[in-house]
Chains A and B, each alone.
Chain A
Amino acid sequence: MRRKIFLAILPIVIFLLAWEVSARLEWVNPVLFPAPSAILNELVDLFQEGLPAHSILINHTLATLKRLGIGFSVGVLAGVLMGVLMGLSNPSFHFFNPLILVLMSIPGIALAPLFIIWLGFGDPTIITLGALSTFFPVVYSTTTGVRSVDRQMVRAAQIMGASRLQVITSVYIPWSAAFVFNGIKLGLARGWMTVIAVEFVAASNYGLGYMIWYATERLKADVVYAGILVMILIYFILDKLLIGNVEKKTISRWGMITQKQEE
């Protein structure tokens, strides 16, 4: 076990050391490849900037998280409702499925120009696109889940006296939970990516994406790397802590994760 951890960390340490050394000795252009220590420094600076009243980094991050929070919630809610509808009604499945398959192949950032025309720069566009990109994977997985419900289980509930609505709440929804979670996980990844990407082009003055893009255009590489580091960290935290925990309490306990589903 210890050996494994050592081996896992080894290449990362070597990589970071090599980077640090080559940046310091200017074997690579330190403007484009600032040393890891410089990136960490920048991260601390960004965090401290504006203290004690506020912190620039935290402000940017909170702005993005707020947009994600609203967009993600709306996307999940709409996605589950729509997915249940499409799963239960064949005509609605045949009508909406082709539309969803095509629309979900459009990356969120590509929709930004159009939505900027429609909704202008800033929150409305960013939040809408965050919601949309969460919505599609959630609908898709929920639909697949509801349509895969074991018919015998529905029948078991019916003969024990469950009404139509009760069959939906007590069979269809828990059955689909594994699929819905998978959709929500994907939706979170897509939503996070999209919110940040759309902030590149549509944010007016706040947001992690705005910060990263502003720095990219001015070739401030250390800020770019620091911003991306924060973005990745937050994504891991959201994914593992939030969704991982709910998952452990539900579908893993029910023995419903058969094979690890990949994102």
Chain B
Amino acid sequence: MTEQKKKSISLSSKLKSSLDFLFPFLIIGIVWEILVQTGIIELRSLPAPSTLLAKFWELTFVNGILWKHLGSSLYRLATGYLLAVLIGTALGALLAQKPLLHDMFEPSLNLLMSVPTIAWIPIFLITLGLGDKTVIIAIFTSSFFAITYNTMRGIEMIDKSIVNAAHLMGLHGLNLFLEVLLPASMLSIINGLRLAIGYAWRALVGGELLAAMIEWGLGKMVYQARYFNDASVMLLGLLIIGITGFLLDKTFLTILERNTVEKWGMTAKK
């Protein structure tokens, strides 16, 4: 099969699978719309999909409020999460290389990793205030431990002969880390990143919702709508939270995975 043919097939199959994915949403939307239009269900707190679409139009293209909410959320997420990735992988690598540090911190790390995300938020609200800082640090904290732990485990499980070979070739320090340790432990690191993005997403939405001084953000959008009893804004916000959370995992992590461990044939075990 030629390259081009392969590509066009994978493209059309991609299109087909995204259509398959959207199909149930479409069906539910239509059924729901019919139920509301014919008056079979009549609830002020359950708006019809057409109302939601109109609202969506208004919030995106008329006043653009939705973009502002989404933008603030993504900004916070990116700041907290990337910070956790940077510091977490570095610390994980350090712990993996020094047995003494490993023995000292592995148990605490394990413990801290299983502390529910929601536990951090009140603590940070009290100590850091009710604004942006709290949310970003909550995102950082809830993703940091999982990333550190999985990086550490990943590097510790690397075949010793690979590391020895690298030493023989004269690799040390940062070069050794970037060129050998990082790729060799990628499977475990991605595992950590995936866990962490889920935690971070929860911390973000929860934090935005609970931090009183925050005005913008998807969590706030949903929470504020409560004061106006505006179920359509709420439903819209929730839908966008769900879709964005899902896409974060599906796009960014899947792309990373495809370009690293899958390309290197490290996922055969699955």
Chain A positions within 8 Å of B, measured between CB atoms, are 3-4, 7-8, 10-12, 32-33, 94-96, 98-99, 101-103, 105-107, 109-114, 116-118, 189, 192-194, 196-197, 200-201, 212-213, 215-216, 219, 221, 224-225, 228, 231-232, 235-236, 239, 262-263
Contact = CB atoms under 8 A, between A and B. Distances in A.
A113 B234 contact: yes
Lowest 9 A-B CB distances belong to which pairs? Answer: A105-B245, A8-B107, A113-B226, A102-B242, A7-B103, A193-B116, A107-B202, A216-B122, A106-B242
Given A105-B201, A113-B226, A213 B104 contact: no
Contacts of B226: 113, 116-117
Contacts of A236: 114
Nearest to A4: B103
Contacts of A116: 226
A3 B117 CA distance: 31
Nearest to A15: B108
Contacts of A228: 119, 122-123
17 contacts: A8-B104, A8-B107, A8-B108, A32-B127, A94-B23, A105-B241, A105-B245, A117-B226, A197-B118, A212-B122, A221-B127, A224-B122, A224-B123, A228-B123, A231-B116, A231-B119, A262-B195
B241 A219 contact: no
B123 A196 contact: no
Contact of B245 (A3, A99, A106): A106
Contacts of A32: 126-127
Given A10-B104, A225-B123, A96 B116 contact: no
A232 B116 contact: yes
Contacts of B238: 106, 110-111, 114
